[in-house]
Structure 1
């Protein structure tokens, strides 16, 4: 299971531990991932995704999963999130027509 957010694409970053004597050793900064159940209003379904805590706050700000996915870039989304995005767009187009 990869350490990557399924909605924002955030993954591990690389940096240094710096000691008191200024010796630098490599380390990894891992994203704060949490498994979350997200509700889609247009589809009426619940989806389990592993997303960062920052992405969860962004979902609340944007107005839910559907609004976030419609505005998200395809390169950042995982394969599961991309599939959900296509379903949401099809359902919104069906409702608008």
Structure 2
């Protein structure tokens, strides 16, 4: 399982650990990934995703999973999140057409 956020694309970064004596050793900076269950209002069901803590805050800030995926670009989303985005868009399109 790769260490990449499924919603924001945040991944592992590399850098140096620098000691007091200015010795440099390579290290990895891992994203803070959490397994969460997010609920889609449009589809009426929940989805388990592996999301960074920053991504979870962004989802809450934008008003939920549906609103976040509507604004998110396809390049940063994982394959699962991209199919979820398409399913939500299709459901909202069908509901909008039925209401009109």
TM-score normalized by structure 2?
0.96
Which ranges of 4 or more aligned residues in structure 1 deviate by more than 3 Å? none
Query: Which residue matches 1:74?
Result: 74
Computed over aligned residues only, the root mean square deviation of the Cα atoms, in angstroms, reads 0.4
Query: Which residue matches 1:95?
Result: 95
Query: Which residue matches 2:54?
Result: 54
Q: Deviations over 1:10-63 (max 9, x none)?
A: 000011100010011110000000000000000001000000001111111000
Unmatched 5+ residue regions in structure 1? none
SS of the aligned residue for 1:61 comes to helix
1:95 is displaced (CA, Å) by 1.0
Unmatched 5+ residue regions in structure 2? none
Count how many residue pairs are aligned between Structure 1 and Structure 2. Answer: 97
TM-score normalized by structure 1?
0.99
Looking at structure 1, the residues matched to 9 and 55 of structure 2 have their Cα atoms a distance apart, in angstroms, of 10
